[in-house]
Amino acid sequence: MASKIQVDVRSEIGELEGVILHTPSSEIENMTPQNAERALYSDILNLSVAKKEYAQLSGVLEKITKTFEVKDLLFDILENQKVKETLVQKICQYEQKCHLNKYLLSLNSKELAQQLIEGVIQEKDTLTKYLSKERYELAPLHNFFFTRDSAVAILNDVLITRMANTIRERESLIMEAIFDYHELFLTKTINPLNSNTFTPQTTIEGGDVLIARDDILCIGQGTRTTSQGIDFILEKLVRQKDKKYHILVQELPYKPESFIHLDMVFTFLDKDSCMVYEPLILQANRFETIHIQIENGKVTKIVNEENMVTALKKLGMDLKPICCGGMKDRWVQEREQWHSGANFFAIGPGKVIGYERNAYTIEELNKNGFEVIKAGDIIKNKTDISNLKKYVITLEGSELPRGGGGARCMTMPIRRKQIKW
């Protein structure tokens, strides 16, 4: 067996040492125009094109770090009969499908892992089922290739998120089981469902949680993460009485849907730069930025800040904002933000991955010293990035962005090297 991995993530930009991915498969095609909106899509994706584009992301990451596939990790833990029974029972209870328990347990580990992700087709053996328009007894997990949302590594622990939409809850159950039972990972899971203060309004998703520094979290509050969800994290930090912590909360618009998470408008690029969607992050608007300070096990301050960049500067992180869509045209900014133009994933300080299609954003990065490199050139060994200090790797993205996320959304880091601030 491979050596165990201590989960350890203390920033957004530390050199990447391990990441969990989920290559999209038939679950993203197992929808129709009638149920696409329920599946949280505005359109249905072309799987063959999406897989080719995703292969660029996974291909680059395989060159530079350890990568792990959700389906492989799920298969591993399902080989343990007790784990298999526990997870199946939990999923059936959550989704009120207890009649499927026997069938699911009859599947071998490979088939079960596949059907828990790609869906269980409904057997039309009653009149009610025959008349039903539903194709699946257990719905496919259409959004699971956005592995960022269901689990978040914060320092040495893994926060299991409570999704805002029930169609995604099984993603969190699977990720919790992986981190609780897989022999590879050394960590402890934290789940808001187990909190005494949990309410139905408690939701939090990984796209809203950014680790600025080991004592600073930036969290978005909007359609997917509620104030109650942020209070759950606050409750956990308050219990750690030996350190001062800061939470910077950024309110997000409920529309358009491209603002679902903080990482769609703000991401970290380097020790001294960040990517921002300027109209929301820097310009005057009605969406508040709130600073919560925790000291000696107590909340000692809750105040409004001018914006996220200013608040971080007060805490010793002086970041130059680089604008999604460039500086000149608000329409261009809106178009590129819609296609995840602010959603960058750092594989190291000043070394980031994003979509090629956001040409004005990429140009802005280049103006600020980031060398532009095509993902395909790295995969084909045409470009050696080992000696480059600052670059942006560009992914082809005609299909994946239509799913509503970028490189950060599609990656769940489990370990990064610590940054010397």
Within-domain flag for 421 = no
pLDDT (0 to 100) of residue 3: 85
pLDDT (0 to 100) of residue 38: 47
Percentage of the chain modeled with pLDDT above 70: 96
**What is the pTM (predicted TM-score) of this model?**
0.95
Within-domain flag for 346 = yes
Within-domain flag for 88 = yes
Which residue did the predictor score with more confidence, 324 or 195?
324
pLDDT (0 to 100) of residue 39: 43
The answer on pLDDT for 282 being more than 90 is: yes
Mean pLDDT is lowest, of 38-42, 197-201, 294-298, 325-329, for: 38-42
Within-domain flag for 134 = yes
Phi, psi of 375 (to 5 degrees): -55, -40
Task: Check: CB of residue 385 under 8 Å from CB of residue 373.
Answer: yes
The answer on pLDDT for 67 being more than 60 is: yes
Percentage of the chain modeled with pLDDT above 90: 82
Task: Check: CB of residue 176 under 8 Å from CB of residue 189.
Answer: yes
For the domain that residue 91 is a member of, what is the CATH number? 3.75.10.10
Distance CA 161, CA 88 (A): 19
pLDDT (0 to 100) of residue 43: 64
Number of folded domains in the chain? 1
Q: For 158-187, what is the mean pLDDT?
A: 96
Distance CA 264, CA 346 (A): 14
Phi, psi of 114 (to 5 degrees): -65, -45
Give the number of C-alpha atoms closer than 13 A to the C-alpha of residue 251, restricted to the C-beta side.
Answer: 11
pLDDT (0 to 100) of residue 36: 47
pLDDT (0 to 100) of residue 399: 86
The answer on pLDDT for 31 being more than 80 is: no
- pLDDT tier, 417 (very low <50, low <70, confident <90, very high otherwise): very high
**Residue that is written with structure tokens 């050139």 in the block:** 377
Within-domain flag for 190 = yes
Domain containing residue 262: 5-416
Q: For 224-247, what is the mean pLDDT?
A: 92
